[in-house]
Amino acid sequence: MEAGAIAVLDALVGFDTTSRRSNLELVDWVVAHVERHDARVRVTYDDTRTKANVLASFGPADAAGVVLSGHTDVVPVDSQDWSTDPFTLSERDGRLYGRGTADMKGFVACCLAAVAGISEAELKRPIHIALSYDEEIGCFGVPRLIEDMLRHEAKPALAIIGEPTGMRIGDRHRGYCGFRSTFTGKAAHSSDPSAGASAIYPASALVAMLRSMSEGGARRAGRTTFNVGRIDGGAAMNIVPNLCKVIWEFRPAPDEDVAGLRGMIEAFIARMTPANVGHATEVVAWVPPLPRDPVDEAIAIVETCGGLGPSAMMPFGTEAGFFRDAGIPALVCGPGSIEQAHQPDEWIAVEQIDSATRFLGRVATWASAGQAASPG
């Protein structure tokens, strides 16, 4: 049953789609594959036109269907000790090795292998296969994909993000919000600091505040967390620093007031920065959290298709929050283990490919049955 998916996975792993590279060769392969099965295909590019999303739709365009969402990019293999070529699929002892097998070309391969059956089904609800770029470095592709989809297709009833959960249903997760705060002061000789304006002092106040907030919630499960990842500032010990940059993040809990938290931190920066020091904060990554909104009906659909319950909070972020913010109920459920993701000798079990293949077959049955139907 899984042989077709493994063959597709072999092709997908062969494309080096590390986020710093173009994914267009893989996109061209996918487009040719789904067009052979009469998909409605939409391709949306990044501003450089070196990366692209693919949306392949089957069934009626005017009905609310299901989105099967995955990403095409993978993390680097630099400095990792692989025992095999990371961009050549290899199989040993029921495991399929290669970069992206777990995260998440395994799920993508299962979706693409399923299109032959999907295209032949008499769908009453559409099935959309949505493949995005640059998920690993900030989910930059999926907002453009969703915007384009909603302009040309009916709003879906459900999005299933196939990140590796061992086919367990994830109904909530934290987000990821990254920032760069730049403080601009005035350089001066350190023999008379009053002649200058230190950019480091207000930057250090921000760092101390973020540390305090992090320690205050350190032992709460599902908490919002904070981190300062990088500080750059100053030129020499005897020069009042005129520039300092702080790269920092918070990972909001599913129920966090993200806008309110961001506003509170920016208000603190404004209050603690002297009038003779400039400051600006820019967003460098923005992945919204996935709250557990009322999704009981969506969970029931995914469970009847073979997703494993009970639903749970996922320990990692996904594209699901973008679908939810667009008014599309979203869940996370896919083959493989997150523990294998980003690791040397990344692998996915063949039985997980088999489980995902059966799951997608039931999704097609649900879409063919129409309103209030169960795939059985």
Q: Please pick, among 73, 103, 136, 163, the residue that the annotation labels catalytic.
A: 73
The DSSP string of 10-33 is HHHHTS--BTTS--HHHHHHHHHH
Catalytic (active site) residue 346: no
DSSP label at residue 103? I
Catalytic (active site) residue 256: no
How far is residue 17's CA from residue 75's CA, in Å, rounded to a whole number? 8
**CB 253, CB 174: distance < 8 Å:** yes
pTM to 2 decimal places = 0.91
Q: In what order do the strands lie in the sheet with 40-45?
A: 40-45, 52-58, 127-132, 66-71, 158-161, 330-332, 168-173, 308-314
* First-residue to last-residue Cα distance in the chain: 19
Which amino acid type is present at position 213? M
- For tokens 């590019």, the residue is 45
Q: Please pick, among 16, 103, 134, 135, the residue that the annotation labels catalytic.
A: 135
Closest by CA to 118, choosing from 57, 70, 28, is 57
- For tokens 């008499």, the residue is 122
Architecture of the CATH domain 3-173+289-369: 3-Layer(aba) Sandwich (3.40)
> What stretch of H or E contains 331?
strand 330-332
DSSP-assigned beta bridge partners for residue 247:
180, 230
**CB 149, CB 128: distance < 8 Å:** yes
pLDDT at 222: 64
For the chain, 376 residues long, give each residue's pLDDT as a single digit of tens.
Answer: 467 999 999 999 999 999 999 999 999 999 999 999 999 999 999 999 999 999 999 999 999 999 999 999 999 999 999 999 999 999 999 999 999 999 999 999 999 999 999 999 999 999 999 999 999 999 999 999 999 999 999 999 999 999 999 999 999 999 999 999 999 999 999 999 999 999 999 999 999 999 999 886 544 546 899 999 999 999 999 999 999 999 999 999 999 999 999 999 999 999 999 999 999 999 999 999 999 988 999 999 999 999 999 999 999 999 999 999 999 999 999 999 999 999 999 999 999 999 999 999 999 999 999 754 444 4
Instruction: Specify the 3-state DSSP secondary structure of 270.
Output: helix
Domain segments of the chain: what residues?
Answer: 3-173+289-369, 176-287
How far is residue 265's CA from residue 214's CA, in Å, rounded to a whole number? 13
Architecture of the CATH domain 176-287: 2-Layer Sandwich (3.30)
How far is residue 333's CA from residue 219's CA, in Å, rounded to a whole number? 27
Alpha helices, H only, 36-155: 106-113, 115-120, 142-152
